[in-house]
């Protein structure tokens, strides 16, 4: 993720953007991840029948507690290769934006879209 002070990224084509498979999911498990180098949580996110449940490590401890994350809708990139974070393989990149202090706020969708719905 970029920080507020970072310049805009290089131009890409719409086709390149839509190669990122960004889907709507729901957090079904959330717990502290003490093995991570920076404060983080381990999430299990249900992306519906087409994608299934995926694991992610997220550095969002400043704005969220595990209890507040349960049942929350999130957007995530589901077609990046898994990334080893300490003892865990993170399978999805959960999307957010930085607030004025550089802390991450999660992105989600308004309304009632089905789990696994793609960003359009």
Is 60 contained in some domain? yes
Is 65 contained in some domain? yes
Note the pLDDT tens digit of each residue in 39-96.
999 999 999 999 999 999 999 999 999 999 999 999 999 999 999 999 999 999 999 9
Q: What is the pLDDT of residue 101?
A: 93
Is 11 contained in some domain? no
Q: In sequence order, which residues have a C-beta less than 8 Å from that of residue 7 and are 6 or more positions away? A: none
Kindly give the pairing relationship between strand 88-90 and strand 83-85. antiparallel
Q: Is 116 left (phi over 0), alpha (psi -120 to 50) or beta?
A: left
Is residue 5 scored above 80 in pLDDT?
Answer: no
Is 57 contained in some domain? yes
Give CA–CA dist 26/22, Å, rounded: 13
Is 78 contained in some domain? yes
Is 98 contained in some domain? yes
Kindly give the pairing relationship between strand 93-94 and strand 88-90. unpaired
Is residue 3 scored above 70 in pLDDT?
Answer: no
Cβ atoms 24, 47 nearer than 8 A: yes
How many structural domains is the chain composed of?
A: 1
Domain range for 79: 26-106
Average pLDDT, the chain: 93
Is 21 contained in some domain? no
Is residue 114 scored above 80 in pLDDT?
Answer: yes
For residue 43, the domain's CATH number is 2.40.50.140
């Amino acid at each position: 993720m970029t920080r507020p002070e970072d310049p805009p990224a290089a131009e890409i084509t719409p086709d390149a953007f839509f190669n990122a498979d960004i889907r709507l999911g729901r957090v079904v498990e959330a717990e502290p991840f003490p093995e991570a180098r920076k404060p983080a949580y381990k999430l299990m996110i249900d992306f519906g029948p087409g994608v299934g449940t995926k694991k992610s490590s997220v550095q969002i401890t400043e704005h969220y507690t595990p209890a507040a994350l349960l049942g929350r809708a999130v957007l995530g990139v589901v077609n990046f290769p898994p990334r080893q974070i300490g003892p865990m393989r993170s399978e999805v990149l959960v999307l957010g934006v930085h607030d004025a202090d550089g802390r991450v706020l999660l992105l989600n969708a308004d309304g009632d879209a089905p789990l696994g719905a793609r960003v359009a």
